[in-house]
Structure 1
Amino acid sequence: MTRTAAGRKSTIYDISRATGSSVAAVSMVLNGTWTRYRIKEETANRILESAQQLGYNVNMAARGLRLSRSGLAGMILPHYRNRFFAGLAETFEEQARRRGLCPVVVSTQRDPAVEGSVTQTLLSQRVEVLFIAGVRDPSPLNALCAAAGVPCINVDLPGADAPSVVSDNQGGARALTDVLIGKMQARGDAAEELVFLGGIANEYATEKRIAGFREAFAARNLTPSLDAVECCGYLAADARRALARRVEQLGRLPAGLLMNSITAFEGLVQFASQLPREAWQSSVFGCFDWDPFAAHLPFDVTMMRQDVERIIAQAFALADAHDPATRPLVIVPTDFGRLLDQHDATR
């Protein structure tokens, strides 16, 4: 490490004298909080350059500050196993490149320890923006970004400590539920038999979709059954087991099923594939997610599509207008995925 002329280690007072900046300003730059106090980026860069020249040991947060543009844009997301997260990643990469940035996307398998470690690594590589997608509690990651002075946007699941962009989970689920109730009633089935299956209790997206599910019933002066909602998780295997229990109790599939993700819907397809064809025809199915391959399934399904293109565009817009003092929540409308099928034009 470089030392001063007297042979001692450099201090923030040496950096202050070398740059003509106050000791407080030097401290805020070195601990990564300079953006909160409106310190100019030019000043922050000058202080960091001086710190390097004097051999001052800059911490992880300060290393995340830009001495110059890195050209990197980061995104973390749970996995690539469904079209929604894969679509977010692909769209993020496309829009980042369009802006002259090199995208870096990392999956974390919903492991908080991995989420934290990956975020620290991306910040140390001086990403210019970080999108945090599908993280149940993004606050610790938002704090890391704030300390490094790097704009971050929560995507899919919101947080109170950074701007967020999410789908209209409640409105979309309400519209989807209403379509399914209408189909059930047209077939002469009791709407009260419609089941909401999948997701995680107390998670933002699931709770909003459950609220939309119940709102659709209330709008028709109906009440779902007491066991209509089952938050069995997102995994296909969990949905398959939950369906098996219900079929064992009823002796058949429920007259209507709303699956709370494409992975839960995969569990339905796996389970239904073991049943006679007439069993499939006895129910109507919906999914809060979208995949065009569903058009080729031998049963009726209505899907709600999340607009990944608009979600990512809104997230970049928030990053461009980044203000550490504001944390808006942007809700992006959903729409019915158009699955071309000769017997169901609503899909």
Structure 2
Amino acid sequence: MAGSNPGRKSTIYDIAEKTGSSTSTVSMVLNGNWARYRIKEETANRILECARQLGYNVNMKARGLRLSRSGLAGMVLPHYRNRFFAGLAQTFEDQARNRGLCPIVVGTQRDPAVEVSVTETLLSQRVELLFIAGVRNPTPLNDLCSAANVPSINLDLPGDGAPSVVTDHRKGAAEITGVLIEKLLARGHSTGEMVLLGGVANEYATEMRIAGFRDAFKARGLTPANDAIECSGYSAAAANRALTIRCQRLGRPPFGLLMNSITALEGLVQFMATLPHDAWKTVVVGCFDWDPFAAYLPFDVTLLRQDVDKIISEAFAIVEKRDSADRSLILVPTGLGKMFEEAEQTKEFDR
């Protein structure tokens, strides 16, 4: 025994004898391969603790496993099709790596069954944290994380089962709606034709943007038209159809359009392509999202940008506090597109 001869170094045989494990099991644990061979975490931790007590030189990979650290950080999000979600994913990856973590990002296409399945898989791989972005009902995923003692943070859409970091949709919508109203008034157009198009009824982000839209009118002593708000979804095709119907009814495009997402703006561009060029000149457009290519569109467009850097930074700050009782809601301010362009250009030069 190692204990009877202080000058002799401990071996895996000593650890096996002390823990009642086979030498092959001890070897796999000490080499950091225990999870691959379905060795229980309790057994692995017992072996690693025994190795520490005996002064065995456990490699760094196994030492991390003893502390239940995998070095993995997970994120689920609906898709990568717009710049907001793609930006969230990229920023999450950058900030996770800066913290010595290996990021895993999975798109779920807004399918609740896939969201649950992906979360279960990531937890089985022992992610140290999970960011849940754009999930309409994140509570079941938060519950899975809580049961596994893994911190989760809701991004973009809030939930009751974990802290949430979301864009301040209401203030942002009020700001951009105010800009569009002032442009319409300056052109001598009626604000009664101002339309908010896109989004999903009873979804948090859409409801907050609707509230902000109404706030902007109320602040100016105005009232939006009865049909000013149309929750046509997030797809480009749905926005195109909704605009086609309105144009047929009016005989021209509405004077003011606030698109509820960049994909809805794509539908507007498709719709505008079917109109004579002169019809574009009468339209004032805003979008609750940002894409640099919009600067080249042949009509007046104002973009509102969500601050993905701040959203991810705030989420990591919550995780690092390690407060399991925290259910706070953090609202991150937006900015009109130009406010962020210089910072983005500086980043591109630095890369």
Deviation per CA, 1:217-241, whole angstroms, max 9, x where unpaired? 0000100000000000000000000
Separation in structure 2 between the aligned mates of residue 264 and residue 206 of structure 1, nearest angstrom? 13
The answer on whether the counterparts of 1:74 and 1:104 sit within 8 Å (CA) in structure 2 is yes
The answer on whether the counterparts of 1:295 and 1:339 sit within 8 Å (CA) in structure 2 is no
The answer on whether the counterparts of 2:131 and 2:153 sit within 8 Å (CA) in structure 1 is yes
What letter corresponds to residue 206 of structure 1 in structure 2? T
Alpha-carbon offset, residue 67 of structure 1: 5.1
The structure having more radius of gyration, on CA atoms, is 2
Counterpart mapping for 1:1-347 below 5 A: 49=45, 68-338=68-338
Distance 1:339 1:313, change over 3 A: closer
Alpha-carbon offset, residue 47 of structure 1: 7.8
What letter corresponds to residue 220 of structure 2 in structure 1? R
What letter corresponds to residue 261 of structure 2 in structure 1? S
The answer on whether the counterparts of 2:45 and 2:66 sit within 8 Å (CA) in structure 1 is no
Alpha-carbon offset, residue 68 of structure 1: 3.0
Alpha-carbon offset, residue 339 of structure 1: 8.7
Separation in structure 2 between the aligned mates of residue 242 and residue 322 of structure 1, nearest angstrom? 46
Separation in structure 2 between the aligned mates of residue 68 and residue 166 of structure 1, nearest angstrom? 29
Alpha-carbon offset, residue 188 of structure 1: 0.4
Matched residues, number: 287
What letter corresponds to residue 269 of structure 1 in structure 2? V
The answer on whether the counterparts of 2:116 and 2:141 sit within 8 Å (CA) in structure 1 is yes
**Percent same amino acid at aligned positions?**
66
Deviation per CA, 1:187-225, whole angstroms, max 9, x where unpaired? 000112100000000000000000000000000010000
The answer on whether the counterparts of 1:82 and 1:263 sit within 8 Å (CA) in structure 2 is yes
Secondary structure at 2:242 match in 1: helix
- Structure 2: give runs of 5+ residues left out of the alignment: 1-18, 20-40, 49-64, 342-351
What letter corresponds to residue 211 of structure 1 in structure 2? A
Distance 1:134 1:240, change over 3 A: same
The answer on whether the counterparts of 1:295 and 1:340 sit within 8 Å (CA) in structure 2 is no
Give me the TM-score of the superposition, normalised by structure 2: 0.79
What letter corresponds to residue 266 of structure 1 in structure 2? E
**What RMSD, in angstroms, separates the aligned Cα atoms of the two structures?**
2.1
What letter corresponds to residue 330 of structure 1 in structure 2? I
Q: Which residue does the alignment assign to 1:13?
A: none
Distance 1:255 1:339, change over 3 A: farther
